[in-house]
Chains A and B, each alone.
Chain A
């Protein structure tokens, strides 16, 4: 198995976006997602596009990784565009294709909605591209912190996420080992009908589950032996810090928001 396997899509690099506090990233993305729906003029769309593209460019994440994140949604973007072309019947007729009239409004609206989609996906995928899963976990724990008051198990949730992150590679290595062991006993994972292959998965899953339960039990014991007793009174090694970079980006984002409302028609 590939030893350099990284969970998620994180692409390491030294960039402003990488340096940002994950909480800031999540907050800004959240508000960006909101304000995208307020854009309604060429200028306002332009402004948001400039912001999104600049953010992506300054992340120093190679274009192909960004494109990879967009792949599954290209279809959606194009589909939305076509839908608007067909459904919208306002404005001047731009083109008459064998009786199919394409209206100006259709093109405009289709383009606008597709652009919205594109921007949403672009900006949200920047989060996972520039933030390690564990940072995201920490940020979620912090951001959900207030929910502790209503007894929502925030710490437990975050711990669960981080333990999953810790064990995913281990379990994948194990899956590979078991599947080789079973293959050497004649289990065929690659050929046969769908049903046959589904059946072949069973001898893979059973030992995997058995071992996962054993691991969980031993891990719980080891955690307890090391003094774990829930989130209370616990300190943290990894700390999140809002720094200069974050404030600069907040300021920039604020300008974009103001700009957006000024350029709205």
Chain B
């Protein structure tokens, strides 16, 4: 099997759409034969260049979805298509090249003894030639602003820096999709913000699809689309605005809503009319300002 299928030199044809999608078709999954179903009849699509946030209570199956996407697990029912290719034992090496994954714990995904060795790890696995690796290491460390740390050892990096290296490692293989499974959960607010900024920059520059699994509502409001999981089922799918307009129902399934969203609610209770669900301070301000000027 060749390790170098033409690097996304896709014809701009009718198939192109499907070629840059991840699709779940009626996927059901459980960890053992006797265990309860963790995912039940899950279907959704993730398009090229799209940023999709997956939210849901603990144990709702989010990480399981992530692991199914790059063949760390296989569904008992239904199928998963990555760039039109079915995820199955024969295709996982190709799939894993396209689907990069960043996990929660910064330490437990750092394989190399130095930053550059770690960034190289994925490329080594995919059998890339050395010259290409050297070039990609430079590029991807630059993308996450870690160039100065190339020779550094992991125990001398902060958690946020390690996560940036993890992102660089994923970028180096030049995937089409990146999954962040609570990748910022162990960082402080500053580190979290920096990582999200890095991710956004990278996504913009490289036309990647981004799938973030998170409990951070601030992060969710910035996504293009949100998939809400509840007890192993897709409970709702829509833009962040659609999702957070359903505050009461979200709270019913054990989720929180962003502070701004709550504030807007309180303002409405106090008699103000707010025409659309605000997602950030700016939007709320806009609402309030137009409210007064039209009075």
Any B CB within 8 A of the CB of A218: yes
Residues of B within 8 A of A228 (CB): 121, 125
Task: Establish whether residues B117 and A237, one from each chain, have CB atoms under 8 Å apart when the complex forms.
Answer: yes
Which of A166, A173, A227 interacts with B97 by CB under 8 Å? A227
Q: Is the CB of A237 within 8 A of B124?
A: yes
Residues in A neighbouring B117, C-beta threshold 8 A: 134, 237-238
Residue A43 lies at the interface, judged by CB distance under 8 Å to chain B: no
Contact of B109 among A170, A173, A222, A239 (CB under 8 A): A222
Interface-side segment among B41-49, B127-135, B197-205 = B127-135
Bound Cα distance from A73 to B155, whole angstroms: 33
Q: For the complex, what is the distance from the CA of A71 to the CA of B107, rounded to whole Å?
A: 36
Q: Most chain-B CB neighbours within 10 Å: which of A163, A165, A224?
A: A224
Verify A234–B107 contact, CB threshold 8 A.
no
Cβ A224 vs Cβ B103 within 8 A:
no
CA distance A224 to B108 in the complex (A): 13
Q: Does B116 contact A (CB under 8 A)?
A: yes
Q: From the candidates A162, A215, A226, name the one contacting B107 in the complex (CB within 8 A).
A: A215
- Bits for A207-237, please: 1 = Cβ < 8 Å to B, else 0: 0000000110011011111111100011111
Identify A239's interface contact among B123, B128, B130, B169, CB under 8 A.
B130
Residues A223 and B124 in contact in the complex (CB < 8 Å), given A170-B155, A235-B130, A239-B130:
no
Size class of the A contact interface (CB-based, 8 Å)? 20 to 34
- Is residue A193 within 8 Å, beta carbon to beta carbon, of the partner chain? no
A226 and B96 contact, CB distance less than 8 A = yes
**A227 and B129 contact, CB distance less than 8 A:** no
The size class of the interface chain B forms with chain A is 35 or more
Give the chain B neighbours of A224 by CB distance below 8 A.
Answer: 72, 96
CB distance from B276 to the nearest CB of A (A): 39
- In the complex, the answer to whether A226 meets B103 with C-beta atoms within 8 Å is no
Report if A227-B122 is in contact (Cβ < 8 Å); known contacts: A215-B107, A235-B133: yes
Q: Is B111's beta carbon under 8 Å from chain A?
A: yes
A169 contacts chain B at the CB level, 8 A cutoff: yes
**A3 at interface, CB cutoff 8 A:** yes
B124 and A221 contact, CB distance less than 8 A: no
List residues of chain A with CB within 8 A of the CB of B155: 3, 169-170, 173
Task: List 28 A–B pairs whose Cβ atoms lie within 8 Å, in order of A's numbering.
Answer: A166-B111, A166-B112, A166-B154, A169-B155, A170-B107, A170-B155, A218-B105, A218-B108, A218-B109, A219-B108, A222-B103, A223-B121, A224-B96, A225-B96, A225-B103, A226-B96, A226-B101, A226-B121, A227-B173, A228-B121, A229-B93, A229-B125, A235-B124, A235-B128, A236-B130, A237-B117, A237-B120, A237-B137
Beyond A170-B154, A226-B170, A228-B121, list 12 extra A-B contacts (CB 8 Å): A3-B155, A170-B155, A214-B108, A224-B96, A225-B70, A226-B121, A227-B97, A234-B127, A236-B130, A237-B124, A237-B130, A239-B130
B residues whose Cβ falls under 8 Å from a Cβ of A = 3, 67, 70, 72, 93, 96-97, 100-101, 103, 105, 107-113, 116-117, 120-130, 133-134, 137, 153-156, 169-170, 173
Q: Which 8 A-B pairs have the closest CB atoms?
A: A222-B109, A237-B120, A218-B108, A227-B125, A169-B155, A226-B122, A225-B101, A227-B96
